[in-house]
Structure 1
């Protein structure tokens, strides 16, 4: 069975409170033996740290998510810098811009995004980026900041936007949406993109694939994303699994952390 990395799963979410252990076991049985858990706000940092401390192959990322803007305060960025001091974080995330959700101040989002990008650059950490309704500005901000690496998770942009990202060395996070036949543009991008910039993800408990529409998503379902990607590219599943696993381990420096 191919070994897979779920590069984006909110395993600390309350949706998993009752059966988190069983969810992890099902993921392992499906071949998903490594997971990256990004934070959304300052309150999520301690529970993610505690969760990851008990599982050698579950790794934390800490950041301030744009959708949770009402929960943030400017001092939280300074707190993030201190929180990263123990070296456990594999990335700064989930950070970014969201111009889709109404009522979220765009200027304030930009402030938090840029400050966290600068922090990631100072710490030499990759970033896990959320870009909904704001991909063009996110790409411009990444280029303007410079000296960064990371992944734009749940990528849903154009071929040109995808190319701009991987030309900057950024990865595309691909999950459940690829399994819907209507996602023709995304499928075309994934079928043709350079494999070295592809990461697999669940974004669980959100964004379930076509086989689980309306249900809670789980990291185990990354195996279904793998099958879909392999079919679209006309390549063996084992080859896609090996390549995307290597991409994730390289981006998040997991080999050093597992040593």
Structure 2
């Protein structure tokens, strides 16, 4: 049984056929789904989805692109929601230097505040990192994120960066891009990541794997990521699926 550790099934792209998408995931062997709530709009709908399906869980956090909008009341709200039985992590949080939507200093402050909250509540964190490898690592070190650990979502860095993340108690997660023919570095990093620290995801509706690249992604396609990962690792799909699902259970405390 597979686990999609990062998806956005509450996104408007699924408004017309959400239940069918979720049903296809179940039919494809997906036993658990982590849906991501990342701002004022998506957090309530993500939790509502987790309440509707017993195998879907939610995270709550504030995305770096929306950092400029987060208030102290929002942080208190996130803290309150972390007591919900279906909320399993704080995220996605981090730094995004690709999209110029929130100033870097604001992103940094919001990122640090949420790591501190995670340490206070003993919750794992889900890290969004786009073009900010050095600063992400620095913040994680300075805020002692290793105390809670978490996952580097849709990892795109080097093996050297991955090793530093592993040393700080993080799992490394791969999504659709690892299936692309030109994805030399992600494939090389995945090969080296220890099996007991590996996760897979879709980030649906984004980052659709081959051969559906360019179309809407969905959770059932995590099987394509798993097949690629199994091939790279020289494992059967069953062993890869079991290991990555067990990793998700361990990290997020899933049932």
Query: TM-score band (shorter)?
Result: over 0.9
What is the 5 A alignment of 1:57-96?
Answer: 57-96=55-94
Q: Is the 8 A contact 1:42 1:63 kept in 2?
A: no
What is the 5 A alignment of 1:91-130?
Answer: 91-130=89-128
Q: Is the 8 A contact 1:93 1:127 kept in 2?
A: yes
Which residue does 2:28 correspond to in 1?
A: 30
TM-score (norm 2): 0.96
DSSP 3-state at the match of 2:227: helix
- 1:172-222 CA distance string (max 9 Å, x none): 110100001111011011112211111010000000012111100000000
Gaps of 5+ in 2: none
Which residue does 2:170 correspond to in 1?
A: 170
DSSP 3-state at the match of 1:204: coil
How big is the shift at 1:43?
Answer: 2.1
Q: Give distance in 1, aligned partners of 2:56 and 2:85.
A: 14
Aligned residues: 253
Which residue does 2:16 correspond to in 1?
A: 18
Q: Is the 8 A contact 1:142 1:148 kept in 2?
A: no
Q: Is the 8 A contact 1:155 1:172 kept in 2?
A: yes
DSSP 3-state at the match of 1:212: coil
Q: Give distance in 2, aligned partners of 1:102 and 1:81.
A: 27
Greater shift, 4-13 or 79-88, is seen at 79-88
Q: Give distance in 2, aligned partners of 1:123 and 1:130.
A: 20
Which residue does 2:134 correspond to in 1?
A: 136
How big is the shift at 1:232?
Answer: 1.0
DSSP 3-state at the match of 1:97: strand
Q: Give distance in 2, aligned partners of 1:107 and 1:57.
A: 37
DSSP 3-state at the match of 2:109: helix
What is the 5 A alignment of 1:92-241?
Answer: 92-146=90-144, 147-241=147-241
Gaps of 5+ in 1: none
Which residue does 1:247 correspond to in 2?
A: 247
How big is the shift at 1:103?
Answer: 4.1
Q: Is the 8 A contact 2:82 2:88 kept in 1?
A: no
DSSP 3-state at the match of 2:83: helix
Q: Is the 8 A contact 1:7 1:36 kept in 2?
A: yes
Q: Is the 8 A contact 1:169 1:197 kept in 2?
A: no
Q: Give distance in 2, aligned partners of 1:66 and 1:199.
A: 22
Q: Is the 8 A contact 1:96 1:130 kept in 2?
A: yes
C-alpha RMSD of matched pairs (Å): 1.2
Q: Give distance in 2, aligned partners of 1:235 and 1:78.
A: 44
TM-score (norm 1): 0.94
Q: Give distance in 2, aligned partners of 1:86 and 1:218.
A: 25
